[in-house]
Structure 1
């Protein structure tokens, strides 16, 4: 096939298609003309808004008529014969005035002989090359005598122009089934407002005087139309295009629309000629910012304290401290832990605030970490602070048993791996197993990680001899319970609660019932604080507050009981009604917390909680220093210098006697264990930890236990010091005898210091004699008697000092109450019996513990010079 032939075939096909289309139009347009006119009329009414004005029945009449006529036209068109290819070719040939059907020749083939066919085909090609496009012949003139075929399209275009932007929405609305009521729009009212996202905390904003508002991104537009039964949908136009929002009927003639505004948009309603537009400028929510203002460090309560600043458009929802463990092995996998930081109510938007996290129970306690703060706003946007480095605070335990428990807890935490697979025993091994073996170590402990197995052995070791090592049965029973659970555990999941239990047992071993009460109170405080922060239900808050109130009451009772036992507070001295330990301020703060929570003042509740925690802490310090509580005034401001010197000298003597008793007990243990005088510390850490020493006792002494003779010399020296102190106190009593310094309380509760000192002198002498005879057990008993006698002497001197102050304080009762911010009186009000000075050595022990904690903390800083580290190690040996 030549290129000319291919061109002519394409031309023939094109002309044929055009002719066939004209034939279709000429044949079917008269049939569908009336239906098309009615459809166009309906669309004109829709686009122009006519049907919204006049409503039904006119809209319905035109719509039904258009549908009926369209159906009739379709029925008539089915009876007509469709134009075929042959008719289209004849139409082309007829309009081009050619004969002999050249178009058919292009597609024909010779039937008998090919002689003469090429010439015939060439002539046909020449004719086809001269063919013209077929012409349109009038078809509607017979049925459209009024030229509506020209007026109707013009009217349709005009209607589109009138309803520009809403034309197709009006058409959709016009096609809605049901009765459409006409409305001129005079009785239609519009209202709209913006509901900002809940996390912004902003109230709804109404379109009142202005139709343009600014709204946070993600706000919800609520628009209502009242006074029409068939409104169109709301049109929402933005940079991304236009969309129509469906309606929700809220009344017989009222509708509501809700749409989320993600970007600046314009909402509009158009009912007939009535228009309503609202412009919303969407404000983009910027990410938050967060930074450390003060680097994290341990505070006096072993909490991780730091200051931070944060800023966000609408408020930071969560603040997280993300810690990363610093490891020497660079190839080790990165380990991170997140700790939630509670945010106070007014610290969410722009603020600098302080935080204190109790991480002493954290698995990374005492380890170096890097950390960042991560702030997250309500939209989910996050920001990170700069990296800081610190050591996670840990609690320093001095009591050897408590230290042993904490070390076992560390082993349990370190062994957080999966247990080994259960071994498959053969039938012979199963038959040889004991019948009633409930332990089954091969299925339990033998499968545990090595740290878990070591912890089990150590706990068994320190609970081997409970009679001689445990003053508190609860500590022993708790350890045995933990040992049993470790022994019978089959998987790591069964050990989940053991670290917390070991921590509580260690607190009990270190601080006794007071430590347990403090832990319970702090846990209840944390639960209450967390419930307030997350806006828990009132019922839950009430329950948490009741638990906290009970925990505070238990802590106060235990603190008072401990103070009385230690001699810091007279149980019923001076004829008083008993001690009053800041009761009024505590109850006022508890009432303030309850009231703030009742009225929804979460920030006020947080402040009251913080004040109460500080007050309770000050109360503990005050009692440990011999303070009496509410209304008490420190005696240092009124006590004579001679009395203070005497008390300090007696306190020092008491501390030295306690230290000597500890050394005696150490020598007794060494003798009992078969050790020789001068050997180094005992056979291992476990034995020291199991010794059950009192708080403040030395940890075995790296220089070895002293001999009985050396201890006797030290006891003799203390006896000489007591004689000197006795002379000083005798002179002091003579100088103050006129003020009633030797009086005894009317109820017999007074203590005579002279009798107590004589008892102490006698006990020291007997202890010295026992030491020289090598009877360490008897010496220990006599030294304990001396300590108790010195304590009684100190209490007697404290009572004498209090009675001396009563006269001077009585003259200042008219000065009125003057309270510090926490409600403690700073005036000269009368002290109660709780104000006795503590000279039983508790202050010395407390100072010793604080000093030891500081030395340990400094010794853990490896960046210090080697000489300084060695010096710190030598200091630690002194403890």
Structure 2
């Protein structure tokens, strides 16, 4: 047992000695490498590599790795690993007895005495082992490390690490992984990056700056990166998956990469390391929402009316009314038609409007259907509303020819089944062969198309003998030929426009064609306004609409004369309605001029509403037989206008007052235009814009600059024209100083304004309209407001004072106020005069009297008053703003600014 314990002690001392010898051997072999590594790490912890240029840092790291490798090889070559035997010898040398070596000896004499002596010798050796200790190598270490760096360097590293603390890991990492690309010039790379949002978002491009993170962009945006580099970098996109793509060389010697961002993504440009990096957050594009605010109903002229509202985060680009049969045809159970619904503006984010759709021509007109709204955004996503049951309105045809044409038409259109496949005739390739199968295409037609052909055969059987209108007979035969020659359902549907035109002409006469052209012109102009077409395109369609309106008026007039009207009635300006330069009086001319101004200034919402009102007025146009002579139009004078002396006193008094008030209003408007021209630096009497080249001078008996007739020939803006525009009115003009003897265009603007004020005062004195008093004439009692007359005069005086001071802007405001008040009083007189005439002619309730455009003569109809039309000054300012935007766009040199201005011009 004692022997065993002695061996354990020996082994422990030998192991300790071996470890000391090994450590010293390692230190002696790798001491330069350790000092070199400690110095490098100390420099890293101190942030030296962060302060030097990237290229210098990369060189320092490479030098460290190279020097470290050399020192490591040197140490491996110089390292002499101690053995256990050398450790035994180091211990054994501490005693002259050499106990470790002697214990391995064996006694040579096996006698008892010799064994006893050997035991005493062994006990002495074991006792000597207690005096043996692992050797001290301090002298060797001192010789190897005289400056005690083995303790100083670790302590210095710990101290520097404590000072760096949280920055220590990053500094060490950057020191061992420097930017090696800097040695290739990568640190001079400049990466330009920008985000182009989808077009439908309307957002401007987003430029990515270095170090910018968490940039919020729309989903589907395109990122573009450009850089200059010796070779092609790579683009790394990390989202749910990692995508890598190489840059592509451009003609200018740069490298470019483009990619779509559909999710949260981290972008990085890598070329010998990451050259630039950004984190992009993609905002989802939600589908649009749409609903019925008011369910569809049948309105005027069998139009489908409904109110809707829609919204989208970036704007609704399209709205459609989806129509499906409530009881679908088994051959097409999923059949659905979509009808476009006009949008109020360009891609509204939130919109609500009342739509009026003419669906009487739809193939399912008169059938029960389900309708729903479908809104589409710029990304093509669709949002739908709840389905609503409805019965599509159908046009009522009373004429037999029209009813037959409609019946045949819908029979063909409602057939959902296609044509059958015609069998191939192999014998048709032989000479003299006849392909009878191909010649009889009706045999392959669906049942309803064959039924339509039988209907046409029946209606046209000997039709040339009993049909009074041979054009209808030939139209039916043409439709029959189209169906017989058709080989597809699309070709058979080509009879739709022919039969529809025949039905309309048979039912409504020749004006139906003009009405169709008018509706087509209106739709084209409305489409251009809604889509933000170019200025030239809108102007072209505006001219087409005016021409279609003129043709429609002429057609309606021709029908009225054919139906018993002896002569074409005079319009509000005393000109013939059919073919005259004015389409329906000064009121209608003003509305057309206002519509043109609205289209030129980009006020699309007001322009579309006014366009709708003008079209409704034209469509409601009715000519009726007048008074004694059988000519005239509702709300307009007949032959009695030629004999003012035959009018009752009350009507005569109202007519005279209205004529004079209308003349003052016309001249006040002309003065307003001249004041605006002076404010813009133009010569009064000239127009700007497209009409600047036209002469605007006023001549006796001609037209004034605003397009009105000379005094006494018409009324303004909804006023009913006075009667007897003959010598009495000329005498009044001479008396008031506005006739040929003294033109109202003579003198300065202030003098002209003063003369107009005198005319208002004269009218008030003659009719007993003092300030705060009542009308002196019984006819005018309650017709003209004395306070309103005083307000008119006050506004004119303020305008005169402003003109004398040279303040054109203030004068314009007061003149517009005077014009508005004069127009209101003129309309009140017109209503009263219409009511008196209706009562005198026995027309019943005067509130039901109609003017030539189908409006209530009392002014309660849709005459465009519900449209907030900007005044002349506002329209001119809008034109000036658009001209300035165009000028800046043409002069801009910066591409970003030009893009921004282009977007503004396209939107407005």
Normalising by structure 1, what TM-score? 0.49
State the TM-score, normalizing by the size of structure 2. 0.48
Q: Point out which structure has higher relative CO (alpha carbons under 8 A, 6+ apart).
A: 1
